[in-house]
Structure 1
Amino acid sequence: MRKLLSGAFALVAFAMLCGYGFWTQERPEGHYLSDLRIELALDEGVPGERGNLLGIEPQLFPSDYQNLERLHRKLSAYLEQARAKGLVNPRTVVILPEHIGTWLWARGEKNELYQVTHRREAWQWLELSNPLRYGLAMLAATGDDRRADAHLRMKAGQMAEDYQQVFGGLAKEFGVTLVAGSIVLPAPYVDRGVLRTGSGPLFNTSLVFGGDGVPLGQPQRQQYPDSEVRRYIQGGHGQPLQVVQTPAGRLGVLVGSDSWYPDNYRTLAAQSAQLIANPVFLSGKDSWDMPWRGNRHQPLAAGLTLRQGEASERTAWQRLTLAASGQYATSMSVFLRGQFWELGGDGQGFANRAGQHLAGSASPGARLLNLWL
Structure 2
Amino acid sequence: MFKQRLLIILGTLMLGWALYVIWSNKNRNIALPPADVQYRSFAEMGRDSGRGNLIGIQPYMLPVDYSSEEAFFQKMNGYFAEARRKGWLNRKSIVVLPENIGLWLVIVGEKREVYAAPKLQDAIRTLTYSNFFTYLSTRMQAPQELRDPTSYSLLAMKAADMANIYQQTFSHLASTYDVTIVAGTTVLPEPAIKEQKLAYESGALYSVSGVFLPDGSLAGLVKKAYLSKQEQTYITPGTINDVPVVYTPAGKLGVLIHQDSWFPQAYANLREKGACMLAVPANITLNNYLRLPWEGYQNYPTPAEARADVNKLTESEAWDKYSFPTRAPQEASITKAIGVFLKGELWELGAEGQPLLLQGASYKKGQTTPGASLSCIWL
Q: Where do 5+ consecutive residues of structure 1 fail to align?
A: none
Letter in 2 for 1:144: R
Identical aligned residues as a percent:
33
Supply the AA of the counterpart residue of 1:59. Answer: Y
Which residue in the other structure is 1:104 paired with? 105
Residues 228-266 of structure 1 deviation map (CA, whole Å, 9 limit, x = unaligned): 211111111176111111011100110011111122112
Distance 1:314 1:69, change over 3 A: same
Q: 1:180 aligns to what SS in structure 2? A: strand
Amino acid at match of 1:160: A
Question: Is 1:191 equivalent to 2:197 in the alignment?
Answer: no
Match of 1:366 among 352, 372, 375: 372
SS of aligned partner of 2:351: strand
Amino acid at match of 2:74: R
Residue 43 of structure 1 corresponds to which residue in structure 2? Answer: 44
User: What residue in structure 2 maps to residue 326 of structure 1?
Assistant: 329
Structure 1 Cα separation of the partners of residues 367 and 106 of structure 2:
33
CA-atom RMSD, angstroms?
1.8
Question: Which piece of structure 1 moves more, 359-368 or 186-195?
Answer: 359-368
| Secondary structure class of the residue paired with 2:33 | coil
What aligned pairs does 1:1-373 form with structure 2 within 5 A after superposition?
1-26=1-26, 27-30=28-31, 32-142=33-143, 143-217=146-220, 219-237=221-239, 240-292=242-294, 294-299=296-301, 301-303=302-304, 305=306, 308-321=310-323, 322-327=325-330, 328-329=333-334, 330-373=336-379
**Aligned partner of 1:4: which letter?**
Q
Q: CA deviation at 1:304?
A: 6.1
Quote the offset at 1:55 in angstroms: 0.2
Residue 355 of structure 1 and its aligned partner are, at CA, apart by: 4.4
- 1:347 and 1:238 mapped to 2: Cα distance? 24
Deviation (angstroms), 1:18: 2.4
* 1:18-59 deviation per Cα after TM superposition (whole angstroms, max 9, x unaligned): 231243234131562442210343111001111000000001
The one-letter code of the counterpart of 2:163 is: A
**CA 1:296–1:68: 2 relative to 1, 3 Å:** same
**SS of corresponding position for 2:43:** strand
SS of the aligned residue for 1:277 comes to: strand
Change (3 A) 1:302 1:226: farther
Any idea what SS the aligned residue of 1:342 has?
A: coil
Taking a change above 3 Å as real, the CA distance of residues 135 and 88 of structure 1, as seen in their structure-2 partners, is same
Deviation, 1:104, is 0.5
State the distance in 1 between where 2:159 and 2:300 align.
26
SS at match of 1:344: coil
One-letter amino acid matched to 1:24: S
> After superposition, what is the alpha-carbon deviation per residue over 1:111-143, rounded to whole angstroms, capped at 9, x for unaligned?
000111111111111111111221111112232
Give the Cα–Cα distance (whole angstroms) in 1 for the partners of residues 115 and 322 of structure 2. Answer: 36
Further displaced range: 344-353 or 235-244: 235-244
SS in 1 for 2:10: helix
CA distance in 2, matches of 1:43, 1:136: 49
Deviation by residue 1:164-188 (Cα, 9 ceiling, x = unmatched)? 0111111111110000001111110
Q: Judge conservation of contact 2:35–2:74 (CA < 8 Å) in 1.
A: no
Uncovered stretches (5+) of structure 2, i.e. residues with no partner: none
What amino acid maps onto 2:209 in structure 1?
S
**What is the aligned length?**
371
Which 4+ residue blocks in structure 1 deviate beyond 4 angstroms?
none
**Does 112-121 or 69-78 show the bigger shift?**
69-78
**Match for 2:17: what amino acid?**
L
Equivalent residue letter for 1:178: I
Name the CA distance, whole Å, in 1 between partners of 2:361 and 2:142.
43
TM-score under structure 1 normalisation? 0.94
Separation in 2 of the partners of 1:335 and 1:293?
20
Query: Kindly tell me: are residues 319 and 161 of structure 1, through their superposed partners in 2, closer, same or farther at Cα, counting changes over 3 Å?
Result: same
Change (3 A) 1:135 1:172: same
Q: Find the aligned partners of 2:129 and 2:305 in 1 and give their Cα distance.
A: 44
Q: Distance in 2 between matches of 1:45 and 1:183?
A: 31
Counterpart-to-counterpart distance in 1, 2:214 and 2:32 = 34
TM-superposed CA distance for 1:210, in Å, is: 0.5
Q: What SS does the aligned partner of 1:49 have? A: coil
Compute the displacement of 1:269 (Å). Answer: 1.3
Is 1:250–1:272's contact at 8 Å kept on the other side of the alignment?
yes
